[in-house]
Chains A and B, each alone.
Chain A
């Protein structure tokens, strides 16, 4: 419904080529709508599923808006989504009238997804680093070709295009499209598909802005159940209600429950409607009572673990839940050692560049306050950008190490007499040099350590 919710986006959703498209496997129409939603046609394209929600505390993995999910519901397709990603490959044309070429693959590793035409075929399961297009580029892209025969095989260097996605999930080539762009280059568009079931950390939301991540996934037999055999799909913590005052969600629960028991889509406007088409909470409660439920929408539940009745009656019923596009699979990131920036020699930033996790200023402040100086030393220098420099103790400037003479030397004093070796962050050395280039002279005053 909103911008982040998954569902059907359009009737042509399976023939489109969006860069990123998330679809829900089994979208549903909300049990409880409003007249406005119907008039606008918002319920024509499903954007979520009607989940039976029990408002109770369970397991402690539901604090801070987290939700507890029923594993059997997930097995049956609740919250299952299809992620479609686009990857485009262009066969380049060069100024010397040569161009990239796509060749038939030999029996090589990482090329099992390729067809005989050198392009991955639809339906192939691919893994990280698998090659999608067996492309080769000419080694010489500038000079005119002199031989009449054109380029030979050795004149080409491989320039394969591979899939760079997360490992773990099965990824499939969904569609392959060939076309020429405005510069008359042949392009290949791959739509790559993943079918995902919800996992811990995936974000869900009801239509009242009550968003939360999956805190834990629990087996159905451990879930509470009612005497009718109803077992919730998810459990939401009641602490979400008092401060946020989402009365609408409670009305939705009541109306949804009345809706399923009477087989009718209800309206959930807060005050009903003068025309009598919409239902007031009173009417909804009456419907509930007619079908043998309590008028407050609370149910008598048993603990699935002990089999004993729960101490309180549980507010339980269907609420339209949306799966939001923020999924852990796309976000999780960790790094031990990895790439560094060339300029500062510090670790790169961000998940896309396999970056490090920053020990920021506030974290640094904590360590200073605690007095963990060796830890700061390690985090800020040893694990980041350590660099060994030669310092002239006389002029305080950085010298250099002469590998031929195996001595260090100060280029200012033209002597190697007063040199000493020390470690400092490369970024610090860089700063000194940049300052020097601006006629500011930073001098180091060293004391014996």
Chain B
């Protein structure tokens, strides 16, 4: 049987990669692919987050459930998440979710003995597994190694304590996915946009005076265009968020030029 193959070979080009930001181009495929990636990134990439909290003492202003919820939302370094087991299919502990293969234990023991309000932060969480720590703590220790450590930087605040108040608890972090609870979602947000293909009608553009060109360029709120200082031609600035092109299209009152002449089409090209 000789079938027609619809297999595509998408290409990825990384444009920017930081600790908390990632931007890449996805080519030679369509939106469904980009959207599938987006959905998986939000909901199905496993991470580690605090899932069970046993409170021994809590005399703070916030109640136990409140603190448990806040602890759950603290992002943890999840490099080990792939090697970890989901507690529901862990054989070592019969789904108990408390063994070394499927859980990481945290301890928090803070007491305020001064007259100043004490902030209990993610720094106070003591992990039994040095590779699983709150991400802000990790990034700070990384920064201190490279020398640029700012000791004034605070962690993620869990609760504030007054004199005599105490918080003592044991927390268990487990592996999970964003579909079950947003605390396991690895991304703050994931989005994509189609790359606009912009054709400037040079012929028509030549009919404009420099002054008109300037105001045309100015009228874009995100400054998508530039005027070449040498040739006085209008350029598209590729590093500007091209997305806003479509907002312009929607018709700003200040935008008086016949756009449809200048823009020929916006084809489907995915640029994540």
Contact = CB atoms under 8 A, between A and B. Distances in A.
Given A170-B65, A307-B32, 8 more contacts: A25-B66, A75-B183, A82-B66, A220-B43, A231-B189, A294-B250, A294-B252, A300-B246
B61 A229 contact: no
A172 B63 contact: yes
Given A219-B43, A225-B189, A307-B31, A172 B221 contact: no
22 contacts: A25-B66, A25-B69, A71-B182, A80-B69, A82-B66, A123-B55, A220-B42, A220-B185, A225-B191, A226-B191, A227-B191, A227-B193, A227-B243, A229-B190, A289-B252, A295-B253, A298-B250, A300-B246, A300-B247, A302-B191, A306-B32, A307-B34
Q: Which 10 A-B pairs have the closest CB atoms?
A: A307-B35, A229-B189, A75-B182, A72-B182, A227-B243, A229-B191, A195-B65, A221-B39, A307-B31, A227-B193
B38 interface: yes
Contact of A195 (B63, B178, B193, B250): B63
Interface string A151-167: 00000000000000000
Interface string B153-195: 0000000000000000000000000110111010011111110
Contacts of A378: none
A307 to B, nearest CB: 3
A38 B250 CA distance: 36
> Interface residues of A: mostly helix, strand, loop or mixed?
loop
A226 B188 CA distance: 14
A292 B43 contact: no
Please classify how large the interface on chain B is, using the bins under 10, 10 to 19, 20 to 34, 35 or more: 35 or more
A174 interface: yes
A331 interface: no
B188 to A, nearest CB: 8
A76 interface: yes
Contacts of B69: 25, 77, 80, 195
A313 interface: yes
A300 to B, nearest CB: 5
B73 interface: yes
B32 to A, nearest CB: 6
Nearest to A225: B191
Contacts of B194: 309
A290 interface: yes
Interface in B8-32: 31-32
Nearest to A285: B253
Contact of A228 (B38, B39, B43, B243): B243
A230 interface: yes
Nearest to B248: A294
Nearest to A80: B69
A14 interface: yes
B38 A292 contact: no
A370 B246 CA distance: 58
Contacts of A292: 221-222, 241, 244, 247
Nearest to A231: B189
Contacts of B192: 227, 302, 307
Contacts of A3: none
A38 B69 CA distance: 32
B31 A308 contact: yes
Interface string A213-237: 0000001110001111111000000
A170 B63 CA distance: 13
A426 B250 CA distance: 72
A305 to B, nearest CB: 8
A58 interface: no
B191 A221 contact: no
Interface in A253-298: 289-296, 298
B127 interface: no
A220 B180 CA distance: 11
Given A292-B244, A295-B252, A221 B193 contact: no
Contacts of B243: 227-228, 300
Contacts of B31: 306-308
A77 B182 CA distance: 10
Given A80-B69, A290-B221, A14 B193 contact: no
A127 interface: no
Nearest to A226: B191
A228 B191 contact: yes
A105 interface: no
A396 interface: no
A219 B185 CA distance: 12
Contacts of A229: 188-191
